[in-house]
Each structure stands twice: as structure tokens, then as C-alpha cells.
Amino acid sequence: MSDWLRIAEHIAARWAILAIDTLLVAFLIYRLLLLAKGTRAYQVLIGLLVFVLALYLSDALGLETIHWLLDRMTTLGPVALVILFFPELRRVLETIGRVEFWRSSLGVGADAAPIQRAINEVVSAVQQMARDRIGALIVWERKDRIAEGNGVELQAEATSPLLRTIFYPGSPLHDGAVILRGAEIVEAAVYFPEISQNPDIPSTMHTRHRAGIGVTETSDCIAIIVSEETGQITVAVDGAWTQNVDADHLRRLLSDLLTGESRPRILERMGATLSSVRRNRTERRTKERTEERTA
């Protein structure tokens, strides 16, 4: 009887180790997928899954030539992956080494104090740039990764003097967007490949505004735009925007969107603003048509 007990205990211990091992691997894969989501690496991962599926199906269906070609391509796979994912791999290793990664993984809430300090610094910088008529585009990441190494990597604490220096006319980094992640400036002089084609965007909003609104249409982020012509501050979220935002309103918006739970209320207010813009545009078109008919 004792022998059977020892065997059962051994099997139970072995299964417990296997369960822990499987859970750890699943957890790491899940966290890596979260880090890659919203980036170019996520699309490459999907492509790799399609490649593996094609390799399996070509073997199962007896497509020898295609299977031979795909099988030869796997020889260079590890080297190709390192080359393709070099920026992402470096970012993943840096992220895993940070305390915030393990806090969020273990369900421990991150300290909101650094974010709030960064908000105050950004508001101060935006307020001064608006007063001095200095154009700026600041994109604050949330769930999706916007920075992919297309700009100049900084990895610096978000401070008002640094932001104003970046956007100061004549600075090598001023003509582009600054991307924030958490309380850090991760990249500057970033150019987005696509801009918004929304016909409801007023004609007074030019390329900088359309680029800021466009990135919020495809990613979960916040875009803060300062007009160098009027000095107005515009905030865009989820493709909707609010113009002529003052410093207090901007601070409340950023606090709600980055540290609070009142996103639906914010989006509802921004949606009302967008509806108002559309209504004014429709009324203007109707008036123009009426004047043309009268003439």
C-alpha cells in the first residue's frame, strides 16, 4: 500500500510541476502578446502563424514542392526573426526589467503620482507653447503602442522645459510628433504615414491636426495639438476632437483619460462637440446652396 502511495505522490508532484510550467509559459506568451499588440511586431506574428499553418497544410495535403520551399525557408527563420524583431526584442527586455511590468502582471496598481506629475509638466509646456504660438503635436500612448523606432529615441522624463525645447522653432526635432508612454518621452520627431481624411475636420485644421486626429482613429491614444497660427489647443481621442481647450480643462481631460475611470463621460462630451461641428458644417452648406440659388 505504501508503494502505491509513493507512486501517487510522485505522479501528483510531477503533474503539479507540469501545471506550473505550463501556466508560466502561457503567462509569458500572454504578456509578450500584450506588449506586441498595436505594433508592427503583432502583424509579423500573425504572418508567422499563417506561415506555420501553410507549412503544416502543405505536408498534410502532400504538396511536396510547396512544402519543400517552405521547409527550406525555416532554416533562416531564427536569424530573420532576430533581424525583424530587433527593436521589439530590445523594448521587450527593457519592459520586463521595469518594476511597472511586474506590478501590472501581479495585479498591483501602478503609482499614479508619476503620471500626474507628467500631466502637470505637459499642461505647463502646452500652455506656454500656445501662448508663444509654437506648433506642437504630443501623442500619449495608452493601450496601443505607437512608438516603433520611426523617430528619435529619447527615453527621458517628461518635463516642461524638455518639451518646449523639442518644439522650439529651429530645433532638429521640432517638426514631428512627440510620443509619451507613461511618464516618459520615448520618441520625438515622429512622422505618421497616414493622416485623417475625415471631411468634418474644419479647413482651419491643417496637416498637424489631421495627423493627430488620424493616429487616434487607429490607436488607443491621446493627441494634443497646439496650433502655431492661432495658439489654440486641440485634444483628440478615438477620432473625436475638442478645440480651444484651456489649461484647466486639459489637465482634467488627461487626468480622467490616463488615471481615472470617466472615459465614457469624456467621450460623450467630445462626441457632442463633434456632432456640433457636423451640424454647423451642414448648416453652412445649406446656407451656401440657398445663396447660390438666390443668385
Q: pLDDT tens across 60-102, in order?
A: 888 888 888 887 777 776 776 666 666 556 655 655 555 455 5
pLDDT of 189-223, one tens digit each?
999 888 888 888 888 888 999 999 999 988 889 99
Q: What are phi and psi of 167, to 5 degrees?
A: -90, 0
Q: Note whether 136 and 244 are same-domain residues.
A: yes
Handedness of CA 39, 253, 239, 135 (dihedral sign): negative
Q: Are 35 and 134 in the same domain?
A: no
Position 196 in a domain: yes
Q: Which of 166, 129, 148 is nearest to 87 (CA)?
A: 148
Residue 61 lies in a domain: yes
In this prediction, residue 119 carries a pLDDT of 94
Adjacent-strand bridge partners of 35: none
Q: Are residues 117 and 237 in the same domain?
A: yes
Domain count, the chain: 2
Instruction: Quote the domain boundaries for residue 161.
Output: 113-284
- Of 60, 80, 105, the last residue of a domain is 105
pLDDT at 5 over 50: yes
Phi-psi bin for 133: left (phi > 0), alpha (psi -120 to 50), beta? left
Q: Is residue 112 very low, low, confident or very high in pLDDT (cuts 50, 70, 90)?
A: confident
**Within this chain, do residues 212 and 98 fall inside the same structural domain, yes or no?**
no
Same domain membership, residue 118 and residue 100 = no
Of 105, 135, 158, which residue sits at a domain end?
105
Mean pLDDT to the nearest integer, 49-54: 82
Same domain, 182 and 242: yes
118 compared with 275, residue with greater pLDDT: 118
Residue 291 is assigned to a structural domain of this protein: no
The answer to whether residues 136 and 48 belong to one domain is no
User: Within a 13 Å sphere around the CA of 122, how many CA atoms are in the beta-carbon half?
Assistant: 36
* Cα distance between residue 19 and residue 38, in whole Å: 30
pLDDT at residue 279 greater than cutoff 70: no
Task: Give the pLDDT band of residue 23 (cuts 50, 70, 90).
Answer: confident
Number of H helices, E strands in the chain: 11, 7
Do residues 140 and 38 share a domain?
no
Question: 33 and 174: one domain?
Answer: no
Do 18 and 98 sit in the same domain of this protein? yes
